[in-house]
Copies of this chain bind each other. A is one copy, B any other.
Amino acid sequence: MNSTKAKQQTKTAITPTRAEDYPEWYQQVIKAADLAEVSPVRGCMTIKPWGYGIWENIQKTLDDQLKATGHKNAYFPLLIPMSFLQKEAEHVEGFAKECAVVTHYRLGKNEEGKLVPAGELEDPYIIRPTSETIIGEAFSRWIQSYRDLPLLINQWANIIRWEMRTRMFLRTSEFLWQEGHTAHASEKDAREETMKILDLYAELAENYLAIPVIKGEKTPSERFPGAVNTYCIEAMMQDKKAVQAGTSHYLGQNFARAFNIKFLNSNSKEEHAYTTSWGVTTRLIGALIMTHGDDDGLILPPKVATTHIVILPVIHKEETRADVLKYCENLATDLRKMQYAGRSLVVEIDQRDLAGGEKAWSWVKKGVPIRLEIGGKEFQADSVFLGRRDKTYKDRQSQSRTEFLNTVIQQLDEMQANLLNRALEFRKNNSVVINSKEEFYEFFKGDGGFAYAHWNGDPAIEAKIKQDLNVTIRCIPLEKNPEAGKCIFSGEKSPQRVIFAKAY
């Protein structure tokens, strides 16, 4: 009896738990929250309304920030002439192996009456795996003089990269993103833009999604194909693996030379422009799930939550129905007048004809920050029965209606801060400074995490570590006063510690 009870008490809404099987837990959280599903198209997912709502919120927030910093949205063709890709030598090497190719422009029927591609194109197109090339061609026409600079363009778009091993949100053949493309009159201006965007991405991750990130530079072997420098923000998931959550590239004059983007400078001399590109993708939603989710499912930080509060009417006696529903409606009306983080509170009343527990648990799994169960008792007492998603299901409490209304914004703020702090604490507990090769191998044969170690800059060492341990250098952290030391693999000089980890 007791043991059964103990087992029931520890039963989780998601099976398996994170500890039992983290990758499978991830898939089950997505399913239980109804965020997305695998589609019949190889490697592509369908983003369902609950997942797409999160993306819309991210879009809105980032779009506002990009506009406030002078960027303008535009839209470039989905298809890119195959020949464009070839104009930048590293770029084509990086993307040729994984792009969808359009070779025909209609369907015909074969002798058996089956549909077959017809109308072969003389020059095939690829579906954009990124748009530096097609945008570079446009920039070469849009830019004539230094007066046209800086040119600050952003595009919200879908992208296809033919990935062999996919995982919903984190790596899919089609994904959604924004890609910024800018051109400047000097290296200094372009480098400033690159770093400004990196800061903006870090702020989005930390202050909006409550995902702590480390800003750093990629090593040459992990650079964007065609970039001079690639900067990134790296986050730690609950299985201690890293997710690259956004990148910002300084492209120098590489694409300007490839696409002839020239301008007359203020001395009337012709120069190639300096360009940047940068993006974040629907992958952020994967990082969100893996940073905050628990064994009961998704947890949404209030700022990005599609619904802040769900009200669950609990009707035990038919005669209280009208009173309870009216009470719920009034509560919702009062809450919807309030503002949190620049939005009106989004409040849902769930009147589905389901058992109370089942109903409440469905919202736990969807990660809604605050649940209010309202029955005859609450109606009588002018109170609410409150559950917060950053606490356990059992840790619920009664509050007077007035107290709740007076504190709800503060509670959302607390929850947002709690989630960030929890994730910061987790990262801290799973980051180590490592000073020997033996210790390094031991660390990554065990649980792993973020290892700060000295490295001499040799790509051969990177390759060996990747082969041995499936561990990569996530970034060279941006530090004001980097401390030099000795590479733990070669004994040679190292300018600063870099971060090693397994990664998605």
**Which residues from chain A sit less than 8 Å from chain B, CB to CB?**
37, 39-41, 44-49, 52-53, 55-56, 72-86, 92, 96-108, 115, 117, 119, 124-127, 134, 137-138, 147, 153, 157-158, 160, 162, 174, 176, 352
Contacts and interface: CB of A to CB of B under 8 A. Distances in A.
A103 B106 contact: no
Contact of A101 (B41, B74, B80, B107): B107
Contacts of A86: 115
Nearest to A176: B75
A103 B105 contact: no
Contacts of A174: 77-79
Contacts of A75: 46-47, 52, 55, 176
B106 A46 contact: no
11 contacts: A39-B76, A40-B134, A41-B134, A49-B73, A49-B74, A53-B72, A92-B115, A99-B105, A99-B107, A101-B102, A101-B104
Given A53-B73, A73-B56, A115-B83, A160 B103 contact: no
A352 B147 CA distance: 9
B102 A102 contact: yes
Which of A92, A106, A153 has the most chain B CB atoms inside 10 A of its CB? A106
A391 B49 CA distance: 45
A441 to B, nearest CB: 35
Contacts of A74: 46-49, 52
Contact of A162 (B100, B106, B126): B106
A229 to B, nearest CB: 26
Contacts of A56: 73
A384 B62 CA distance: 36
Contacts of A104: 100-101, 103, 124
Contacts of A117: 101, 103, 124
Nearest to A153: B49
A73 B306 CA distance: 12
Contacts of A124: 104, 117
A41 B85 contact: no
Given A99-B106, A127-B127, A158-B158, 6 more contacts: A39-B76, A39-B134, A41-B134, A46-B74, A79-B100, A96-B115
B39 A77 contact: yes
The 8 closest A-B pairs by CB, nearest first: A49-B72, A101-B104, A96-B107, A47-B75, A44-B77, A41-B77, A105-B162, A101-B117
Contacts of A37: 138
Contacts of A157: 158
Contacts of A98: 105-106
A255 to B, nearest CB: 16
A101 B106 contact: yes
Contacts of A99: 105-107
Contacts of A352: 147
Nearest to A123: B42
A56 B74 CA distance: 10
A391 to B, nearest CB: 29
A111 to B, nearest CB: 16
Contacts of A49: 72-74, 153
A115 B147 CA distance: 37
A99 B116 CA distance: 12
